[in-house]
């Protein structure tokens, strides 16, 4: 039997995550919420509805806690990619959703909330024990899922604001606390066998399991991520013109699209650099953590420095050896600031392609279409960023994006083989 107190803790957590999502969107108008400036990003309205649909579809309806869908077409328009539950609105058409209106989506959120509140206020013995286990399992996944979408909301809002001619940033100008900068040191990992992957306590996505052993050879990792200033040197040395530094696909990308700097950067008429942020255009701070790179740019920079990207296993072993505490997002300043020696300012590209751990099993049922089916042609990023919910920042967490992606808060940390 579950204690009411336990359920009350679940409820508080659920409500707090839901409120957080809405606070992220608070500055957006109906029109701001509808824009989809490229296929990779989604409209804020869609995120608001999709996260609710996840609870409705996989918790309330799969467990028969409600009898009918809220709306007959929402399975079509607010499903992201779960083929197990029917046909899906093509992703590039999410920007066409004038209807339902934002206010209708908010009604939908309240509808879902009400049923979840009812469930968690239920005297815990009114439903069967196994059902509770399953319900709380899905509730946990839904909460984690909504937190992931909080980061996507921030990255997509940034992209959508930038893509418009008026480039009106969603948040007011940030006061940037001037963090102290840190020197770069090299930290050696202990050569030998290490444990990798999520262990026992706390929630983790299926892709972080099973826990297993790897061998790590002699290697050092940088004590902090690369900074804007370090990358500007690379640019000034002709990094974008030297084909020998680049993976073949990376060279194609930068030449096809004429890239010469990270995404969101631009040179002003006086020759200085600025970057677009969720708080508007800012002068570039050379000591700030570098951000918005593709895997190709991160890899080319490392090669130019006689280094390489760490593997995800090296990264994880390194992170476990640090005295870290989660930082995560703060709507007062959603920008990776000056380096802090640990992680959590930017997602750090690793050299590891995203693939299953030995013995990996996706979750059962349709929610298992979450991680496994994307395990090809993507690369793992570790750490978490200034747009990540604090409790999603941990050593074993595996984020992943295709190597050309640049709109995420993605940077890098150098590694070097000791030979």
Say whether residue 256 binds a second copy (CB under 8 A). Answer: no
For residues 135 and 79, what is the distance between their CA atoms, to the nearest angstrom? 20
Q: Which two tokens stand for residue 370?
A: 């979450």
- Give the tokens for residue 248: 């073949």
Start-to-end CA span in the chain (Å): 58
For residues 415 and 219, is the Cβ–Cβ distance under 8 A?
yes
Radius of gyration (C-alpha) of the chain in whole angstroms: 22
Binder to a second copy among 166, 180, 256, 271 (CB under 8 A)?
Answer: 166
Residue nearer to a second copy on the CB measure, 23 or 164: 164
Among 148, 355, 363, 390, binds a second copy (CB under 8 A): 355
For a second copy, the closer CB: 95 or 328: 95
Kindly state whether residue 89 participates in binding a second copy, applying the rule CB under 8 A.
Answer: yes
> How big is the site for a second copy, counted in residues (CB under 8 A)?
65
- Whose Cβ is closer to a second copy: residue 83's or residue 267's? 83
Identify whether the C-beta of residue 134 lies closer than 8 Å to the C-beta of residue 63.
Answer: yes
Contact 385, 409 (CB under 8 A): yes
Binding positions for a second copy, 226-255, rule CB under 8 A: 243-244, 246-251
Which CB sits closer to a second copy, 32 or 146? 32
Among the residue ranges 73-81, 126-134, 143-151, 264-272, the one whose residues contact a second copy (CB under 8 A): 73-81
Cβ-proximal residues to 350 (8 Å cutoff; 6+ apart), any chain: 309, 310, 311, 312, 314, 315, 379, 380, 381, 382
CA distance 378 to 410: 14
Q: Which stretch binds a second copy (CB under 8 A): 121-129, 134-142, 156-164, 389-397?
A: 156-164
Among 26, 68, 200, 376, binds a second copy (CB under 8 A): 376
Binder among 308, 320, 322, 324 for a second copy (CB under 8 A): 308
Q: If binding is defined by CB under 8 A, does position 148 make contact with a second copy?
A: no
- Distance in Å, CB of 125 to a second copy, minimum: 35
> What Å distances lie between residue 205 and 153, 195, 362, 384, 407, CA to CA?
20, 17, 9, 15, 23
Helix (H, G, I), strand (E, B) or coil at 352: strand
Does 187 interact with a second copy (rule: CB under 8 A)? no
Rounded Cα distance between 228 and 411, Å, is 10
- The residues that touch a second copy, with contacts defined as CB under 8 A, are 29-32, 34-35, 37, 73, 76-77, 81, 83-84, 89, 93, 95-102, 160, 163-166, 168, 193, 212-215, 217, 219, 243-244, 246-251, 295-296, 299, 308, 351-353, 355-356, 358-359, 369, 373-377, 379, 403, 417, 419
């Amino acid at each position: 039997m579950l204690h009411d107190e336990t359920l009350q803790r679940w409820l508080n957590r659920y409500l707090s995550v839901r409120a957080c999502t809405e606070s992220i969107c608070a500055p957006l108008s109906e029109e701001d919420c509808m824009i989809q400036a490229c296929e990779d990003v989604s409209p804020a309205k869609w995120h608001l509805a999709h996260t609710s649909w996840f609870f409705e579809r996989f918790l309330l309806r799969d467990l028969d806690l409600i009898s009918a869908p809220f709306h007959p077409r929402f399975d079509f328009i607010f499903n992201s990619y779960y083929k197990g539950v029917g046909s899906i609105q093509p992703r590039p058409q999410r920007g066409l959703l004038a209807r339902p209106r934002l206010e209708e989506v908010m009604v939908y959120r309240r509808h879902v909330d009400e049923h979840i509140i009812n469930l968690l206020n239920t005297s815990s013995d009114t439903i069967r024990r196994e059902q509770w286990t399953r319900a709380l399992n899905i509730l946990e996944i839904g909460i984690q899922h909504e937190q992931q979408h909080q980061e996507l909301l921030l990255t997509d809002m940034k992209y959508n604001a930038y893509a418009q001619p008026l480039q009106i940033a969603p948040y007011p100008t940030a006061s940037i606390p001037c963090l102290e900068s840190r020197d770069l040191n090299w930290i050696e990992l202990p050569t030998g066998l290490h444990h990798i992957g999520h262990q026992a306590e706390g929630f983790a996505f299926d892709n972080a399991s099973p826990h297993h052993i790897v061998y790590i050879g002699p290697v050092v990792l940088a004590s902090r991520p690369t900074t804007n200033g370090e990358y500007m040197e690379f640019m000034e040395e002709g990094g974008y013109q030297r084909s020998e530094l680049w993976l073949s696909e990376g060279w194609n990308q930068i030449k096809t699209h004429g890239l010469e700097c990270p995404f969101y950067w631009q040179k002003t008429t006086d020759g200085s650099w600025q970057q677009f942020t969720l708080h508007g255009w800012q002068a570039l701070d050379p000591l700030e953590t570098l951000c918005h790179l593709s895997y190709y740019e991160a890899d080319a920079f490392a090669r130019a420095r006689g280094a390489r990207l760490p593997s995800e296993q090296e990264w994880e072993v390194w992170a476990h050896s640090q005295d870290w505490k989660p930082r995560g997002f703060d709507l007062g300043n959603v920008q990776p600031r000056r380096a802090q020696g640990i992680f959590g300012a930017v997602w750090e590209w690793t050299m590891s392609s995203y693939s299953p751990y030995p013995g990996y099993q996706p979750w059962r049922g349709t929610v298992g279409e979450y991680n496994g089916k994307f395990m090809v042609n993507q690369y793992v990023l570790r750490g978490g960023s200034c747009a990540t919910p604090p409790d999603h920042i941990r050593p074993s967490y595996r984020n992943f994006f295709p190597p050309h992606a640049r709109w995420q808060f993605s940077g890098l940390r150098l590694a070097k083989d000791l030979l």
